[in-house]
Amino acid sequence: MNQSHTSDLLNSLKQEFPKTCFLIPKIAREDQYSLTYSPAVQARNPSLILDHLGIEQLQETMPKIGLKNLAQIKSSLRDEAGSSHPEICHRERLITRHDKGVYIGPDVLGSTTVFFRNEQEKQEAKNALANRYEFIDDFPVSVLTQTQEALTDSSNPENPSDIRLRLLEESGIPTAHRNKIKGEGVLVGVLDTGIDADHQEFCDKSICYSYIPLNPTDSSPRNVRGFDTGGHGTSICGVIAGKTLGIAPEADLYVASVIESETHTTTYLRIRKSLQWLMEHFKSDNNKNKPAVVNLSICLPSSPTPPDIPKQEILELYLKILRYDLYQMIQANVIVIAAVGNNPDNFTYPGGFQEVLAIGAVDYQHQLADCSGSGCVKDEEGQEYSKPDLMGYGVDVYSSVERDYQGQSTYKGQSGTSIASSYVAGIAALYRCQNPTLSVDAVKTQILTNVIGLPHISEAKSGKGLARFVLQ
């Protein structure tokens, strides 16, 4: 579907339909922690909405967006061999209109975005579909604890006063590079404040970049030259794939700007749009057979944070859906890595999910960083597990930041679990480059097995140890 046509449609309807939420198909799950999402299930999801609400197609939009007529869509969606029609969901996103809202989807993550005129309309639709769909409202929330700037501050990438990760032998990075393992053919997605694409670390790379608006219902993602007014995302990308500093300098970067540089806020809808944007690129014809890694600097709270999330049950609902989304990515051969958070007495999500690798921080002497978070997670079945899963270098790590007003590329030392997470994401990219056919579980096993032990730090605080690359 042409994004501009969809954007025009949404802009024309946004005043009439100001309420936004998502429908997540309950039929797509076996249980809370073992999720399935087959093409056949995907193809049937829209027909459930059609059957229950009698939705009629927006006939006037069909010529603009190239949709089939409603009879053809219904016939295909109800086909018992629904698995032969996944393209109906992924390439021709169904846009339907009912007297109780406009439904767009399902998207590549399997959910449908719905727009209502008012709360009453939403409640009536929710009552009609409650047995088969969960309704999730959008909400704003602060998500990023800013990395701490260390004393290191140099504009010369060849002579930093700090240790450069790619020259640190114990990390295994020099070994990888000597064997021409530098991330070639690996897709790395980064959700952060953005990237300064004209910084000298990246100016020779072709970076796929999208700015996801703070209110993504207003327009399609802006696919523009990468920019970053805060520098956090530029630092993360520098550690992962910078030309002179990066662990995997030949990896392909896909960067979505989803966090406001000044306020460090985002919205759930914005996060979902960015994950959808990544998956659409990862599943494209050019990329569908390439291994992928996603690094998340998003740190959602593990307990309610009024007024944005006033109740525990609301938080749990949002986290459940985010976990569902990330599980779809993992099932699509994407390794998901996230910072555990910069509160030493707690952890954050999505790092708190069992399927996601949560990363804490140590310094170059293997001492636990003061800011490195940790905690015990209890799932809804009462099972407990600890986070983080493992550690990365995250104290005074030298990396790129946004250019100054004269256009000069600058560098600084950075500290925090976001930096540590980017280190592990780079290591993961090297493993995926070394053997592109390995599954997500196999690569995670490599990462968790080939660590540097940290016996002086409890496993509850350090996980399996310090990540490194080991040549296989």
The partner residues of 452 in beta bridges, in order of sequence, read 466
pLDDT at 8: 53
What is the arithmetic mean of pLDDT over 226-234?
80
Our answer to whether residue 177 is catalytic in this structure is: no
Asked if residue 357 lies in contact with residue 424, where contact means CB atoms within 8 angstroms, the answer is yes
pLDDT band at 408 (very low <50, low <70, confident <90, very high): confident
Q: 148-462: which CATH topology?
A: Rossmann fold (3.40.50)
H/E stretch holding 137: strand 133-137
**Confidence check: pLDDT of 22 > 70:** yes
Specify the pLDDT at position 96. 57
pLDDT at 355 over 80: yes
pLDDT greater than 60 at residue 306: yes
The whole-number average pLDDT for the span 236-250 is 94
Distance from C-alpha of 253 to C-alpha of 257, rounded to nearest angstrom: 13
> Does position 350 have pLDDT exceeding 60, yes or no?
yes
Give the highest mean pLDDT range of 7-21, 70-84, 405-419: 405-419
Q: Would you kindly state where each structural domain of the chain is located, as residue ranges?
A: 3-137, 148-462
Range name among 103-112, 319-328, 426-435 with the lowest pLDDT average: 103-112
pLDDT of residue 141: 61
φ, ψ for residue 20 (rounded to 5)?
A: -120, 135
| Token pair belonging to 113 | 């975005």
Query: Of 461 and 62, which is predicted with more confidence?
Result: 461
pLDDT at residue 68, as a whole number? 38
75 is catalytic: no
Task: Please pick, among 261, 372, 418, 422, the residue that the annotation labels catalytic.
Answer: 418
Q: Could you report the per-residue pLDDT of 130-153, keeping only the tens digit for each?
A: 777 778 776 566 655 444 444 334
At residue 235, the pLDDT reads 92
pLDDT of residue 217: 56
88-97, 253-262, 272-281, 390-399: the lowest-pLDDT one: 88-97
Is 192 catalytic? The answer is yes
Per-residue b/e over 111-144, b at no fewer than 16 CB within 10 Å? bbbbbbbeeebbeebbebbeebbbbbebebbbbb
Compute φ and ψ for 383, nearest 5 degrees. Answer: -80, 140
User: What count of other Cβ atoms lies within 10 Å of the Cβ of residue 442?
Assistant: 12
pLDDT at 88: 28
R_g (Cα) of the chain, nearest Å: 22
Q: Report whether pLDDT(434) > 60.
A: yes
Q: Which of 232, 274, 389, 409 is catalytic?
A: 232
Mean pLDDT for 147-174 is: 60
Catalytic residue among 107, 138, 162, 192: 192
What's the confidence (pLDDT) of residue 392?
97
pLDDT (mean) for 267-281: 85
Q: How confident is the model at residue 43 (pLDDT cuts 50, 70, 90)?
A: very low
Average pLDDT over residues 222-247: 85
Highest mean pLDDT among 25-39, 84-98, 123-137, 386-400 belongs to 386-400
* Banded pLDDT at 154 (limits 50, 70, 90): very low
Residue 160 has pLDDT above 60, yes or no: no
Of 1-15, 65-79, 309-323, 444-458, give the range with the top mean pLDDT: 444-458
Q: For residue 375, what are its two tokens?
A: 């905690």
